[in-house]
Amino acid sequence: MNRFGKIINIDLSSGKIDQEDMSEAAVRQSLGGFGYNVETLYRRGGKGIDPFDPGNLMVISRGLLTGTVAPSSSRIHINAFSPLSGLIGSSNVGGYIGFRMYSLDIHSIIIKGQASHPVYLCAGPEGVEVRDARHLWGLDNRDTEERLHKDVGPENVDMLTIGPAGENGVLYACIMAGWDHAAGRTGLGALMGAKNLKAIVLQAEPKKEKMTAGQADVIREYVRRMKKSVSRYKDYSTWGSSGDIIETNRMGMLGTRNYQDYQLDNVEQIDGRQLKRFVKKKSKCHRCPISCKAEIELSGERYQGFKGGRPEYETIIDLGALCGLTDSEALLYLSNLCNMLGMDTISTGSVIAFAMELYQRGILQDDDTGGIALAWGDAQAMETLIRQIASREGLGDTLARGVRQAAEIIGRGAEKYAYHVKGVELYGGDPRGMMGIALAYAVSMRGGDFTSVYPVPEFRYTAEQAEKEFGTKDVIDYTATRGKGAMVKKCMMVSSVIDSLGLCKVPALSIIGDFSLAMEARLIEVITGLDISKEDLFAIGERIVHMEKIINIRQGTSPADDSLPEMFLNTPIEKGPIQGRRVELAPMITEFYDSMGWDADGWPTESTLQEFSLKL
């Protein structure tokens, strides 16, 4: 048994399966998880790849610490060229799928090719095999999971599945790991669908490992630091990230009615405090001391008895405020419907809000919508659109392409209201509220996104911390641009490392808020025995970011892609707590590029490439 696990290579076109060991040299270079995936696409991914080409590699990896005794070590990462953006696609998911990979001594599953008919992969102690999935095609994710449990057994099984949206090529289709864990962003479910791959099933008894005294000491300290942030720990343990909605609304940053407004009346109806009344049971991922997830059951007449998971902050904004929806039961139902059909809730909410604004402005009319009146907050209209998108019917066929492509198809000025970065819809927080978040959106390698950068020092650090780390207190001034480039660089490096270790960012960055990587270095040492310092981790994280950028350059990205929709740059917020703000992006982009060692067009300089042994 290799201590770092096996790499399983699968060619769906030929049915060939082989394996190799994950080497210590590879671990020291990219850690695992996200880092290993990026390294693989950098070395093997090619140039100018069509995401739907059978040669597009899908790389699924657990982090270096995923499945171990480390706290909150549940995460796996999935990467490929994105059907939605055409650039690097990236998504992260927790639950227990990573623990099951660890139990099978699997570090990575690399999939290429296209099966001749629907199949699923089944991995167990005896190896990996390709099985017929024609009886599963067309089923939603819940029914797929139920049928697969009948096929392989109910015990010690976790799986990744796609629903009808992935089968039908919805460009933001997601991959589900159970009812309420989604690898949501960048449309990797559509890639599985294009490969005729319905599911990946992992079956293994848990490894029985005894924690050493040294490991226990470090783990206790890590958990103690979580609980020391008393209010944040309590908030996340009570209502997860769904409890941040009221605060975002208070700050005037809540994207409302497709960013026409910045605050939502009756917002408390969709905040986690209100949603708590539907919670039947808290749930958690592997070795999580927080338990920020929750199982819900609806009791109203329309959705009586419906069960599912409580949505997170981003989902509530995009399916709720962005669409003008304040019906809490409808929001819970619609978010779970997206999970069942296999659609990213952030992009789904964004495309519906986009369509609603076009209808409001007369750009879309009843002939275009099939008679659906797309009124703000109309839950029935939203449900109809969600089902049409998943099945690629009516207006849903256009909206299934994401706001960028949908706007091009619709025309008539629709582009003005299509809010995305690099073709990936924003997560719903108005970037005019915080300049660091605005920059993070613009330069994120996977598009309009917060979590792949995680620029929380802007609203978590003290003035003293900001001055010490970045040389200016302006980092914590939401309106200032100075220092934001250096901050975002550091956050991208740290985010890359956390994703490569397979740790959850909620405890590490949202609750503890420590961006030094010192505790992570200690966890690596006591769990793996590797002497990788925090300085080493920063270097690895920076190299990963450079490789991401090179991958995107090879895929045809341009300097214009590191930007924001025109409205956020030129139209000040009209009212509310942050009235008058707009994003002054150019100086932050310049500082970020300079911090990264990139030229004015955002290309790594020759000296930077040499320093990290990379090439364009």
* Long-range Cβ contacts of 386-391 (<8 Å, 24+ apart): 386/334, 386/337, 386/338, 386/341, 386/343, 386/348, 386/352, 387/337, 387/341, 389/165, 389/170, 389/343, 389/348, 389/351, 390/163, 390/164, 390/165, 390/168, 390/170, 390/341, 390/342, 390/343, 391/164, 391/168
Residue 2 has pLDDT above 80, yes or no: no
CATH number of 253-425: 1.10.569.10
The answer to whether the Cα torsion of 168, 174, 178, 179 is positive or negative is negative
Q: What are phi and psi of 509, to 5 degrees?
A: -110, -40
Helix (H) or strand (E) holding 301: none
CATH number of 6-203: 3.60.9.10
pLDDT of residue 230: 86
For 130-186, what is each residue's pLDDT tens digit? 999 999 999 999 999 999 999 998 899 999 999 999 999 999 999 999 999 999 999
Find, among 595, 379, 356, the residue nearest to 491 by Cα.
595
Tell me the residue type at 262.
Y
> How many CA atoms lie less than 13 Å away from 543 in the CB half-sphere?
22
Cα 604 to Cα 49, 325, 546, 555, 596, distances in angstroms: 21, 44, 7, 15, 8
3-state percent breakdown (helix, strand, coil) of the chain, nearest 5: 45, 15, 40
CA 369 – CA 65 distance, rounded (Å) = 48
Residues 6 or more apart in contact with residue 118 via CB below 8 angstroms: 132, 133, 134, 136, 137, 196, 197, 198
CA 463 – CA 312 distance, rounded (Å) = 30
For 239-257, what is each residue's pLDDT tens digit? 999 989 999 999 999 999 9
Residue 301 has pLDDT above 90, yes or no: no
Task: Pull the structure tokens for residue 303.
Answer: 């959705």
Confidence of residue 208 (pLDDT cuts 50, 70, 90): confident
Task: Pull the structure tokens for residue 463.
Answer: 């003035």
Averaged pLDDT of the chain:
96
Confidence of residue 1 (pLDDT cuts 50, 70, 90): low
Q: What is the three-class DSSP state of 612?
A: coil
> How many CA atoms lie less than 13 Å away from 398 in the CB half-sphere?
16
Q: What is the three-class DSSP state of 562?
A: coil
CATH number of 431-501+533-611: 1.10.599.10
Beta bridge partners of 124: 127
Locate the domains of the chain by residue range: 6-203, 253-425, 431-501+533-611
Asked if residues 85 and 79 have their Cβ atoms less than 8 Å apart, the reply is no
Helices (H), 529-605: 534-554, 566-570, 586-596
Residue 536 has pLDDT above 80, yes or no: yes
Instruction: Quote the DSSP letter at residue 41.
Output: H
Burial of 542 (0-12, 13-18, 19+ CB in 10 A): buried
For 58-70, what is each residue's pLDDT tens digit? 999 999 999 999 9
For 457-486, what is each residue's pLDDT tens digit? 999 999 999 999 999 999 999 999 999 999
Asked if residues 248 and 254 have their Cβ atoms less than 8 Å apart, the reply is yes
For 8-39, what is each residue's pLDDT tens digit? 999 999 999 999 999 999 999 999 999 999 99
Q: What is the mean pLDDT of residues 420-447?
A: 96
Find, among 399, 8, 12, 7, the residue nearest to 192 by Cα.
12
Instruction: Quote the DSSP letter at residue 155.
Output: S
For 353-382, what is each residue's pLDDT tens digit? 999 999 999 999 999 999 999 999 999 999
Asked if residues 523 and 532 have their Cβ atoms less than 8 Å apart, the reply is no
Residues 6 or more apart in contact with residue 249 via CB below 8 angstroms: 263, 264, 267, 321
Asked if residues 382 and 372 have their Cβ atoms less than 8 Å apart, the reply is no
321 CA to centre of own chain? 20
Residues 6 or more apart in contact with residue 116 via CB below 8 angstroms: 196
Find, among 347, 410, 380, the residue nearest to 371 by Cα.
380
Task: Pull the structure tokens for residue 227.
Answer: 């609980």
Q: What is the mean pLDDT of residues 230-244?
A: 91
For 343-357, what is each residue's pLDDT tens digit? 999 999 999 999 999
Q: What is the mean pLDDT of residues 489-511?
A: 97
Q: What pTM was computed for the model?
A: 0.97
In this chain, the answer to whether the domains covering 253-425 and 431-501+533-611 adopt an identical fold is: no
CA 493 – CA 540 distance, rounded (Å) = 8
Q: What is the three-class DSSP state of 281?
A: strand
